[in-house]
Amino acid sequence: MKPVLFKDDFVRRYAAGEFGNHAPTWDTLNEYLKSKYEGLVHIRNRVKGGPTYYNVSRNNVLSVWVEATKKQPSNTWYISAMAPTEKTVLQGEVQRGVWGLELTYTRVKKPMREALAEATVCASGLSVRMLLTGAMDVWSWEHLEYLLKEYPDHVVEFSVYEEPWGTIPGYNTVFWECRRY
């Protein structure tokens, strides 16, 4: 597979479903408005480390979008459905290292950036496999193994929930990013 070296390339490939189960996502404000989606959303940035806006209601999307585009052009923003963070089991970033799997994770029930800032745990080797297979359904675990094989030297960012959620029925894990940037 082609490596993911830039965030804007990742976003395009993510929205197309290349990395598996993900949040329902709209590339532009107009796409989102046409969707009639009523749940909370997350206004996300295509710039590495850029700001993000969580838990935005449909009634507030336009005003938050206008505020965001004062800081950065509209083509640097996209919208995703807000995940059920109150049902988070485990979330973090995993990659293959010299000694096996390496994981940075949290069990805090908040959006990932906030959760990792509040409490971060690191694990490696067999304990990573035990943590992940204990939290993920079998399809999510198998898909994670696929991503790590097909995208060597990449970090896979994920969230595991108490129940299935996302664009692929039956998966309890959303793959937020697969990156080498």
**Predicted local confidence at residue 123, as pLDDT:** 98
Three-class SS of 95-148: EEECCEEEEEEECCCCCHHHHHHHCCEEEECHHHHHHHHHHCCHHHHHHHHHHH
**Predicted local confidence at residue 99, as pLDDT:** 87
Name 76's Cβ contacts closer than 8 Å, sequence gap at least 6. Answer: 45, 46, 47, 50
The predicted model scores a pTM of 0.94
**Predicted local confidence at residue 174, as pLDDT:** 98
Q: What is the mean pLDDT of each run of 10 residues along the chain (181 residues)?
A: 94 94 96 97 92 97 97 95 98 95 98 96 97 98 98 98 98 97 91
**Predicted local confidence at residue 63, as pLDDT:** 98
- Please state, in angstroms and rounded to a whole number, the distance separating the CA atoms of residues 84 and 111: 9
Question: What is the number of other CB atoms lying within 10 angstroms of the CB of residue 26?
Answer: 18
Name 98's Cβ contacts closer than 8 Å, sequence gap at least 6. Answer: none
Nearest one of 181, 179, 136, 178 to 20, comparing CA atoms: 178
**Predicted local confidence at residue 156, as pLDDT:** 98
**Predicted local confidence at residue 50, as pLDDT:** 87
Angle formed at CA 83 by CA 9 and CA 86, multiple of 5 degrees:
145
- Domain regions of the chain by residue span: 24-81, 85-179
